[in-house]
Homo-oligomer: A and B are copies of this chain.
Amino acid sequence: MPSAIQTSVTTAVPGPATTAGLKDLNKVFDVRAAQLVVDYDKSHGNFFVDVDGNTYLDVLAQVASIPLGYNNPALIAASRSPEMVSALANRPAIGFFPDSKWLKLLEDGLLRVAPKGLDQVFTAQSGSEANELAYKAAFMLYRRRERGEGVEWSEEDLRSCMDNLKPGSPDLAIMSFTNSFHGRGLGSLSTTRSKASHKVDIPAFNWPKAPFPALKYPLEDHVEDNAAEEKRCLEAVEHLITTWYCPVAALIVEPIQSEGGDNHASSAFFQGLRSITKKHNVVLIADEVQTGFGATGKFWGHEHWNLSSPPDIVTFSKKAQTAGYYFGDRKLIPDKPYRQVNTWMGDTARVIICKAIIEEILSKNLLEQNVRVGKVLYAEMERLAKKYPALIYNLRGKDRGTYIAFDTPDTGAVVSSMKRQGVNVGTCGTSSIRLRPMLIFEEQHGMKPTSTNHDNYDF
């Protein structure tokens, strides 16, 4: 039984084989972020095995990007399918010479789970790329509206853009929030605000940063303060849109700020963002790179917002194992061809994997499972937070599936200690531990640890 795999840590962490492996690899590849060298063939379900033979329950899941566990039979079957072999051996330039099976692949996969109101898709290879493509769509839409429908580019536009100068290369901004993470490309990094070490030394666009609500926990004890905080932030958003030195073409926001510390806001806050962006013709981009594909108990994190009209663009990656963005308004397709295009426009091989993931999530009711397991996990964390209030506080993620995080004084110590106990967890923000289990995580994984090294998860 896959779920019967036990955690087992019999060496130091990292063990000698990981240490030796990283030393060798370091000669040709930067390994300083590497934690463990993994034997993926021996890994299974929620557990991975390192080259020292240690088995870990994986509650980080390749930075929240493994949806269905290691060596999942459905994904192995998709990997062995004839369509996969063709996609790998005959990689098409999808935008120029699409495969005759491309439409059906989209319809059977990505479009089946398209967010409500968004019926078109643009495929990409990473969350960072998906966000930058979304920004470009917003910029082009802004200038199209400004010029007027059907009005051609001016000679000055065409000439100046070749020198990266106005008016062809306009001053237009993407607004993001404090503590947000939207990627590491030179454009997406200008919207990322989570950590200085990601940004320092890299040139950036002069784009505005709005305050994201800093809520107090437990939420039920701080209702008024939190409402006031969200009101303050919404006012700041509108103020920045109306006063920034250049037009704000789009606002990008994560349903839960993930890398930046698992920061939540209420549905009312997001409804406010939708209302303000509609009022000022600002494209609203929901960055679902980490929250999408069932991570919060709904397929899309923004479903928790209860909007009356959807975000204009929803970007995805990570658990999708591919990337891209959904949209509804056809005006987000540029007025002329060849402007939003690139050689590969995604990777058919990864879109095939994505289709298999979607089929599994839907047929195995993994959203329901995530809600159910999340409740158990959250209750258990609540119990531990009460027992160790100095070590576990600001518990977050109630009713957000297994998307749970808490603050602790020494995150590094917790991660190390948990690893020694056979559990791989990650940090986020400056003082948080995030639980980011796979969608196949079960109650027993949160409740009945079976490590040879310890009796329970208390630390």
Contact A201 B85 (CB under 8 A): no
Q: Which residues of B contact A202 (CB under 8 A)?
A: 136, 139-140, 161, 169
Which of A22, A89, A188, A333 lies at the interface centre, i.e. has the most chain B CB atoms within 10 A of its CB? A89
A135 to chain B, nearest CB (A): 7
- Residue in B closest to A79 when the chains form the complex, CB atoms: B88
How would residues 57 to 101 of chain A score, 1 for a CB under 8 Å from any chain B CB and 0 otherwise?
000001101100011100110111000111011111101111110
Cβ-based interface call for A30 (8 A): yes
Which residues from 292 to 330 on chain A have a C-beta closer than 8 Å to any C-beta of chain B? 317-318, 321
Query: In the complex the two chains form, is A65's CB within 8 Å of B25's CB?
Result: no
If A96-B35, A337-B32 touch, does A84 touch B88 (CB 8 Å cutoff)?
yes
User: Across the interface, which residues of B come within 8 angstroms of A188, CB to CB?
Assistant: 186
Interface residues of A in 14-65 (CB under 8 A from B): 21-22, 24-25, 27-41, 43, 48, 51, 62-63, 65
**Which positions 120-147 of chain A face chain B at CB distance < 8 Å?**
120-122, 125-129, 132, 135-136, 139-140, 142-144
**How far, in whole Å, are A140 and B321 apart by their CA atoms in the complex?**
30
Q: How far is the CA of A204 from the CA of B321 in the complex (A)?
A: 30
Expressed in whole angstroms, the Cα–Cα distance for A80 and B119 within the complex equals: 34
Instruction: Select A339's contact among B31, B102, B140, B197, beta carbons within 8 Å.
Output: B197
Provide the residues of chain B in CB contact with A84, threshold 8 Å. Answer: 79, 88
**B34, B100, B198: the one within 8 Å of A38 (CB):** B100
Which of A211-219, A232-240, A342-350, A405-413 contacts its partner? A342-350
A206 contacts the other chain (Cβ, under 8 Å)? yes
Q: How far is the CB of A50 from chain B (nearest CB, A)?
A: 9
Report if A158 contacts B (CB, 8 A): yes
Q: Which parts of A190-221 form the interface with B (CB within 8 Å)?
A: 190, 193, 196-207, 209
The number of residues on chain A lying at the interface, defined by a beta carbon within 8 Å of a beta carbon of chain B, is 124
Question: Quick check: A199 and B168 within 8 Å, CB to CB?
Answer: yes
Kindly state the separation between the CA atoms of A199 and B33 in the bound complex, as whole angstroms.
35
A200:B344 contact, CB within 8 angstroms? no
Q: Which residues of B contact A93 (CB under 8 A)?
A: 62-63, 65
A172 CB-CB contact with B under 8 Å: yes
Cα A3 to Cα B347 in complex, Å, equals 28
Q: What separation, in Å, do the CA atoms of A143 and B91 have in the docked complex?
A: 39
Q: Chain B nearest CB: distance from A377 CB in Å?
A: 22
Residue A157 lies at the interface, judged by CB distance under 8 Å to chain B: yes
Q: A29-B98, A169-B199 are in contact. List 17 more A-B contacts (CB 8 A).
A: A30-B333, A30-B340, A34-B97, A37-B99, A40-B100, A84-B88, A132-B186, A136-B202, A139-B201, A139-B202, A162-B199, A168-B201, A173-B203, A184-B342, A185-B187, A186-B205, A197-B339
Which A positions have Cβ atoms within 8 angstroms of B?
21-22, 24-25, 27-41, 43, 48, 51, 62-63, 65-66, 70-72, 75-76, 78-80, 84-86, 88-93, 95-100, 102-103, 106-107, 111, 119-122, 125-129, 132, 135-136, 139-140, 142-144, 153, 157-159, 161-165, 168-173, 183-188, 190, 193, 196-207, 209, 317-318, 321, 333, 336-344, 347, 349-350, 353
